[in-house]
């Protein structure tokens, strides 16, 4: 049960980061103010940076380590856990992930330039 919850959190983070690649540009073009939130954008950039550095250095994501630890205790897998894991974990060489995450980090950095966040959000005005 804990492993399933960790998998869901892991998947949600991965989905949020991935959606951010697209939502930032779309929201910027459509004038969505929340997309320009500097803290949100820093979080997105930081998470992508941490993921890229982990991959380059060869570290396993802490969420994956915890999930695997709990899976060894209770390996029962629900239908949703199975499919979320299939989407989240790809069986590819580490070089593919280094390239992919480096390109994603590069794209997030480019977004910072072409769709810049604002320094401080206004009070809804």
In a domain, 120, yes or no: no
In a domain, 122, yes or no: no
Is the pLDDT at 24 greater than 60, yes or no? yes
Reported as a single tens digit per residue, the pLDDT across 56-115 is 888 888 888 888 788 774 445 555 666 677 777 788 888 898 999 999 999 999 999 999
Query: pLDDT at position 66, please?
Result: 86
Question: Do 56 and 104 touch, CB atoms closer than 8 A?
Answer: no
Query: pLDDT at position 79, please?
Result: 53
Query: pLDDT at position 125, please?
Result: 47
Query: pLDDT at position 74, please?
Result: 44
Domain span at residue 102? 2-114
In a domain, 26, yes or no: yes
In a domain, 87, yes or no: yes
CA dist., res. 101 & res. 103, Å (int):
5
Closest CA to 115 of 12, 52, 34: 34
Q: Which residues, 6 or more positions from 51, have their beta carbon under 8 angstroms from its beta carbon?
A: 17, 61, 101, 105
Q: What are phi and psi of 33, to 5 degrees?
A: -65, -35
% of the chain at pLDDT higher than 90: 47
Q: What is the DSSP string of the chain?
A: -HHHHHHHHHHHHHHHHHHHHHHHHHHHHHT-GGGGBHHHHHHHHHHHHHHHHHHHHTPPPHHHHHHHHHHHH-----HHHHHHHHHH-----HHHHHHHHHHHHHHHHHHHHHSPPBSS--S--
In a domain, 124, yes or no: no
% of the chain at pLDDT higher than 70: 86
In a domain, 121, yes or no: no
What is the number of structural domains in the chain? 1
Per-residue confidence band for 4, with pLDDT thresholds at 50, 70 and 90: confident
In a domain, 119, yes or no: no
């Amino acid at each position: 049960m804990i492993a399933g919850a960790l998998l869901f959190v892991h998947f949600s983070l991965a989905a949020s980061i991935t959606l951010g690649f697209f939502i930032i540009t779309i929201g910027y073009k459509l004038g969505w103010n929340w997309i320009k939130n500097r803290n949100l954008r820093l979080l997105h950039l930081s998470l992508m940076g941490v993921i890229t550095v982990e991959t380059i250095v060869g570290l396993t994501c802490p969420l994956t380590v915890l999930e695997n630890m709990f899976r060894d205790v209770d390996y029962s897998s629900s239908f949703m856990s199975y499919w979320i894991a299939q989407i989240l974990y790809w069986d590819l060489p580490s070089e593919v992930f280094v390239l992919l995450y480096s390109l994603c980090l590069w794209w997030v950095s480019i977004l910072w330039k072409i769709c810049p966040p604002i320094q401080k959000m206004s009070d809804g005005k």
